Amino acid sequence: MKLTPYILIALSFVGLADTLYLSYFAYLNLVPGCAIGGCEAVLTSAYSKFLGVPLAYIGVVFYVYMLALSVLLAIDEHSRTLAWAALAYTAVGVLFSVYFEFYIQGVLIGAYCMYCAISALVTLGLTLTAGWHLRTSTHS
């Protein structure tokens, strides 16, 4: 039994909790407390929505889909198709996170949100774990 699908499941739950928390506050049109002080600037900026949809909602969809993909990978841990899908899906998430964290927050807004950083780190962890799973599944 491989451990990597279960790490993916756990990380998906962490990301889901983070984005559900932000979605709750977005729904109420409030800003959650922030230990680093930049959350308000980021979460109330024009960049906090895509086509009028809060990015937190998009994050929920991302993590729900990743959770489903991770469960399928736990059921069929030797599926190369699922392993590649997990890696490709999370890699797209990392690219979006890098764009949002470094360019949008760092350059355009000039402030950082700790909840966004948590999501970016979780997505990076998902990508590394998906890559690890794919690499180990090709050698089994």
Confidence of residue 35 (pLDDT cuts 50, 70, 90): confident
Q: Is 74 inside a domain boundary?
A: yes
Within a domain: 140? no
Amino acid (1-letter code) at residue 61 = V
Residue 11 falls inside a structural domain:
yes
Does 106 map to a domain?
yes
pLDDT in tens, 1-27: 689 999 999 999 999 999 999 999 999
Long-range CB contact pairs, 45-54, < 8 A, 24+: 45/109, 47/100, 47/104, 47/108, 47/109, 54/22, 54/23, 54/26
Q: What pTM was computed for the model?
A: 0.92
| CATH number, domain containing residue 30 | 1.20.1440.130
Do the domain assignments include residue 131?
A: yes
**Which pLDDT tens digit goes with each residue over 84-111?**
999 999 999 999 999 999 999 999 999 9
Give yes or no for residue 139 having a pLDDT over 80: no
Number of domains in the chain: 1
Q: How far apart are CA 108 and CA 102, in angstroms?
A: 9
| Joined tokens for residue 31 | 């800003």
CA angle 136, 137, 140 (to 5 degrees): 90
Q: Give the domain extent around 9.
A: 4-135
- As a whole number, mean pLDDT of residues 32-46 equals 89
In the numeric block, the tokens 């764009």 are attached to 99
pLDDT exceeds 70 at position 121: yes
